[in-house]
Chains A and B, each alone.
Chain A
Amino acid sequence: MTTIDTPRPDAIAGENSAGAPRVDNYLTWTKGFLSWALTLDHKRIGAMYLLGILFSFLVGGVFALIVRTELIAPGQTIIEPETYNIFFTLHGAVMVFLVIVPSIPASLGNFVLPIMLGAKDVAFPRLNLFSFHLWIIGAIFTVLALLLGGFDTGWTFYTPYSTKTELGGVIPVIFGVFILGFSSIFTGLNFIVTVHKMRPKGMTWFRMPLFLWALYATALIQILATPVLAITLMLVGIERAFQIGIFDPAMGGDPVLFQHFFWFYSHPAVYIMILPAMGIISELITVHSHRHIFGYRFIAYSSVAIAIFSFLVWGHHMFTSGQSALLNTIFSAITFSVAVPSAIKVFNWMATLYKGSIALNTSMLYALGFIFLFTIGGLTGIYLGTLNVDVHLHDTYFVVAHFHYVMMGSALIGFIGGLHHWWPKMFGKMYDENLGRIAFVLVFVGFNVTFFTQFMLGSHGMPRRYYDYQPEFTTYHLISTIGSYIMAAGFFLTAMYLVHSLFYGRKAPANPWGGRSLEWQCTSPPPHDNFKTTPEVGDCYDFSVVRWNEEEGGYVVQRPDEDPESENV
């Protein structure tokens, strides 16, 4: 394992200065731009990813608001059709490739995974830094694509339109996504090796926190599926640049082949987005209800089952593409099988609440919101997996609503919930819990108002990616746009109180929520090396020893032998 050779300026200074020794803190460990840009510390890399991802989320969100505002009424509202096409494409591409895919693994996962394992860092810290640098380069190419004329292919880059459109941004963005793909692969590779090789003594596979199971399953998909996307997009670029017929029938290619390649990655990618969120929810539900997770093995196995099934269902995006009826039937059948492990997780989370001691903290509200929204997202997936119903609903707003319930209502809500959960750990500050709850309500209500209406739009036949629409769809579009403004208000409020907490927040205790996994045993924020000695591993879901401590302002873990005064234990 690579070690960090930099001296310990603060530690030395701390010992020399008068008064109490300074607390070892990864944020203030070293100073200066390069100490961050070239850091090998997984915590700093996680924090920088977080900043980049949240900024991209803001950008993608602004694109979404422009799109929704254009759709507030029939006819032209604020932009031209060509501009609209660029904006919905950018919204999709930024949100998928720059935000949701890296969101949880690269930011929260990077930060938490080694600490949960009691390790000092991931297995390959230099690769980890390289993966972040690749993310930055990928993001720069996306911005470049925008400056070179933009691209209007939709985030799906369907051929032959993507090889024919005249806008100059197509090749830069393809290259950007290619690079982002490698960033994702390196993170996945790192996590797999770390989980295999660096578990502490006593932490068997089935004693790992479920978040690690989820990250592990995600990493498997990342390294197996992402290369296919990278190669496919390269082929599109080659076809555009050198007029070699691969997907364009005018040059002897086959456009449906592109769809197979694309969804072979992009369907598993849905699970790259949702699995880590499910892992976070498993943590949030147990910690904030202080109850042992119900059915640990079923949840762990279902993560792996989802990862495996996710490779076998890509054809359900292509029921109307001209794919044969036989293939459609097979893909429909396998698609239904992927619904079962998802259902198992929901039921297990609910059973965990039973006889718990449920603290309605902001992050718990997000977890409960996740269960609600994921239920809607999952149940509406049944319509789309059903062959004859999908023929009617395919490529309408019903699909748009469904995947926003899954990708935003579930994956991103899980990310925001996890962000609130680990925020005190990452930055050592507590945010205003009441503002957090208010912001959650705004986001939750706004989300449902925005996207539930789109189910009705879709079932009535409103196609997606339309700049304008028939007057009979006006009411639903208006409600949907209002909802998006409510949601935006919720996110702005969240940004405000989180930034506020960095400067004025109360100092966070080591264990503000009563968690048992290892990250709650080190200080907030963690020291540079996470742990001085490898910590002892207990059952990370045993909350019988968790006690509230008023002095700490947080929870402490008391074992019977350490706590002679305790009467109950």
Chain B
Amino acid sequence: MISSIANILLGFATAAPGTTPANFWMPEGASVQAPRIDFTFEVINWINYVFFAGITIALLYLVIRYRQRGKNVEFSPGPEHNTPLELTWTIVPTLILVGIFFMGFAGYLDLRTSPKNTYDIKVTAQQWAWEFEYPNGAKSTSELVVPQGRPVRLIMRSKDVLHSLFIPDFRVKQDLVPGRYTYMWFQSDAANDPTDDSDFHWLFCTEYCGDSHWNMNVHVRVFPQEDFEKWTKEQARWLDVIPEEDLYFMAGPKLYARCATCHTIDGSDGTGPSWGPRDGLPALWERIVSGKGKVSGGSKFIPGKTNLSDYIGDGKLYLTPEDYFKDSIYNPGALLVSGYGNQMPTFQGQLNDRAIDALIGMSRNLDEFNADGTFKDQAKLAEAEARIAEAKAAAAELPVEGGNSGAVTD
């Protein structure tokens, strides 16, 4: 029965695309550490197969051979103990376990001890997103891009609760503890295709951190050295090169990806209020401008004043709707939208004025976006991208300003 279950499972597993008996247990390793961990795993596997098969077969044999026929007890005075036998099955497993311990221990030291010439990336986790900061000041929240063939060290911290960074294909995992820094290192020698978004490794949060814990995952992509340098340079300046009028549809969706964990734009419910029309109210910008939005708490809440119009306007808390919009990102606990708790982290220091502009622009033109936050008019987007590429090519001769590009090329 057990073997038939195993067969069925094996059948399912091999039927799944990209799964072969070779990675029945472990996904294909993509870091220099993976082979050693996989080897330890395999050694334990085979020891376990032997013990498991031995115990199961012996159990079945004993039960069938000595089963009771009828109700009468066929008593046979067998041995009540046998010290040499019992010592054997105490000592042999002990020796095997000591061996396994040392394999794990030696492998673990390699996993914990990073080489000296690492490329350092700062990681900040908060409910429910990752931020990766590169030596040249470039920041990324939508993906972790790392150089190929180079040891990478993540210097990690958490802003709120426990998180844990896990990349299954690299076999690495480390908790992020608020109030402490933790390190992790890995090196991947197999590059992903920089032009193919679907070629990536998963990065999961594996320490339960609340409502959207399950959604706190991003892609990891390993770029060849040249592509990696290009990517970090572009990443450092991407917001600056977009013309003001194109900000809302070029930068908006990228920035919104971070907001999408909690805020939808189609009016459907989420951890935070939707930007779209909801609960009989108009869309976000309209709610702010008209003052029809409802609030019910927060550090700046005045009891009895539940309409946004009580807070926005001449002589009130916020002079303009834009001020309110910005403060609800920088200081989200100030006024809490009715029906929602104080769960949003602050983005002060992470989003500059241009980023806020982009988000305001997006919220004012929601009808131009799909439900997943992408811009509907692909032609317009392509045209704007071409213009930027042109400007970039023209400026290619100039040296890169700001940022420490030396650290990238080492």
Contact = CB atoms under 8 A, between A and B. Distances in A.
A459 B41 CA distance: 10
Given A344-B89, A382-B44, A543-B73, A292 B78 contact: yes
A468 B177 contact: no
Interface string A129-149: 000000000000000000000
B15 to A, nearest CB: 8
A328 B202 contact: no
Given A166-B342, A336-B100, A394-B206, A460 B211 contact: no
B276 to A, nearest CB: 18
A333 B180 CA distance: 26
A499 B151 CA distance: 64
Nearest to A371: B59
Contacts of A250: 178-179
B75 A392 contact: no
B93 A339 contact: yes
- Majority SS at the chain A contact face: helix
B63 A294 contact: no
A363 to B, nearest CB: 14
B214 A360 contact: no
Contacts, number: 292
Interface stretch (A171-179, A269-277, A346-354): A346-354
Interface stretch (B157-165, B245-253, B401-409): B157-165
A456 B101 CA distance: 23
Contact of B59 (A360, A368, A470): A368
Contact of B108 (A322, A344, A391, A461): A391
Interface residues of A, number: 103
Secondary structure of the B side of the interface? mixed
B166 A468 contact: no
Nearest to B12: A475
Interface string A246-263: 001110001110000000
Interface stretch (B64-72, B140-148, B302-310): B64-72
Nearest to B64: A358
Contacts of B389: none
Interface string A384-426: 0111111110111000000000000000000000000000000
Contacts of A329: 105, 108
A379 B48 contact: yes
A388 B73 contact: no
Given A350-B62, A389-B104, A467-B213, 6 more contacts: A166-B341, A249-B177, A321-B175, A322-B182, A358-B63, A391-B173
B351 to A, nearest CB: 22
Interface string A442-457: 0001001100110010
A39 interface: no
A541 B394 CA distance: 92
B210 interface: yes
Contact of B111 (A80, A249, A388): A388
A468 B215 contact: yes
B72 to A, nearest CB: 5
Contact of B211 (A81, A354, A445, A514): A81
Interface stretch (A52-60, A295-303, A306-314, A500-508): A295-303
Nearest to B15: A475
A344 B212 CA distance: 44
30 contacts: A82-B271, A158-B208, A256-B180, A293-B80, A294-B82, A325-B112, A336-B101, A347-B89, A350-B59, A350-B62, A354-B66, A356-B78, A357-B66, A358-B62, A360-B67, A368-B59, A375-B56, A383-B41, A385-B104, A388-B108, A391-B37, A392-B41, A395-B173, A456-B13, A456-B24, A467-B215, A472-B18, A475-B16, A476-B12, A544-B77
